[in-house]
């Protein structure tokens, strides 16, 4: 037990969780990090982006995933116009079945806020969340989810389950689907078509 606490206190854990966000700040130039307080994102530009603009950032994350041969899904978490997290699927790289874009983004945002409660946060993700991710969204008390493409095979927001809208759970999360769904879906279908093409060779 002592070791677990030590490990957390060592700051090794928060560092890797925030890397995607630091990269984002460099790439997009619209937000920047305070070098003194690395997990507070300092806003330096426009106050509020609309859904499509945040989704475009999630899509850029999904492109990052594709570039390293991961299933291309990206996610962004925003509160009061400030981006707290930007992540992509890293299941293969980390050899971790829990390393979906949403899960990594939730942990990043919780680290940024130093709290497991993400009330007031909106999560943007290019694909409808699966049961694991929808469950994590409820655990984190995320206020709003905006997703791109629906996932008829495993989606847990509107397809197979409607987890975010279950009166019996102790939290409900507002959900908006279909934002930039064509681009989000194309990235996925292209990825899997390429996989099949290579498989047939």
The residues binding a copy of itself (CB under 8 A) are 1, 3-5, 7-8, 12-13, 15-16, 19-20, 22-23, 64, 67-68, 90-100, 103, 106-107, 110-111, 114-118, 130-136, 138-141, 153-154, 156, 160-161, 163, 166, 168-170
Angle 189-140-89 (CA atoms, 0-180°, nearest 5)?
25
Sign (positive/negative) of CA torsion 119, 120, 124, 128? Answer: positive
Rounded Cα distance, 199 and 90, in Å: 22
Closest distance between a copy of itself and the C-beta of residue 147, in Å?
16
Rounded Cα distance, 123 and 108, in Å: 12
Closest distance between a copy of itself and the C-beta of residue 117, in Å?
8
Q: Tell me the C-alpha to C-alpha distance, in Å, between residue 84 and each of 10, 129, 160, 178.
A: 22, 19, 29, 23
Q: Considering beta carbons, is residue 97 or 199 the nearer one to a copy of itself?
A: 97
| 127 DSSP β-pair partners | 149
Active-site choice (5, 102, 119, 194): 102
Contact 127, 146 (CB under 8 A): no
- Residue 102 among the catalytic residues: yes
Closest distance between a copy of itself and the C-beta of residue 1, in Å?
5
Please name the helix (run of DSSP H) or strand (run of DSSP E) that holds residue 7, with its range, or none.
helix 2-9
**What token pair was written down for 62?**
């999904």
Closest distance between a copy of itself and the C-beta of residue 50, in Å?
26
3-class secondary structure, 80: coil
Q: Cite the active site residues.
A: 102
């Amino acid at each position: 037990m002592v070791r677990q606490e030590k490990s957390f206190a060592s700051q090794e854990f928060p560092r890797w969780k925030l890397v995607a966000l630091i990269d984002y700040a460099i790439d997009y130039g619209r937000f920047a990090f305070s070098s003194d307080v690395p997990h507070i994102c300092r806003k330096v530009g426009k106050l509020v982006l609309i859904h499509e603009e945040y989704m475009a950032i999630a899509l850029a994350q999904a492109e990052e995933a594709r570039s390293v041969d991961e299933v291309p899904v990206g996610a962004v978490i925003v509160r009061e116009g400030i981006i707290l997290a930007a992540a992509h699927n890293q299941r293969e790289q980390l050899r971790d079945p829990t390393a979906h874009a949403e899960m990594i983004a939730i942990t990043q945002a919780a680290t940024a806020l130093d709290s497991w409660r993400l009330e007031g946060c909106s999560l943007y993700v290019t694909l409808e969340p699966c049961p694991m991710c929808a469950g994590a969204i409820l655990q984190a008390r995320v206020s709003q989810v905006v997703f791109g493409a629906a996932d008829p095979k495993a989606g847990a927001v509107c397809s197979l389950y409607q987890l975010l809208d279950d009166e019996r759970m102790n939290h409900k999360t507002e959900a908006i689907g279909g934002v930039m769904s064509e681009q989000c879906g194309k990235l996925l279908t292209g990825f899997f078509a390429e996989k099949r093409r290579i498989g047939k060779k």
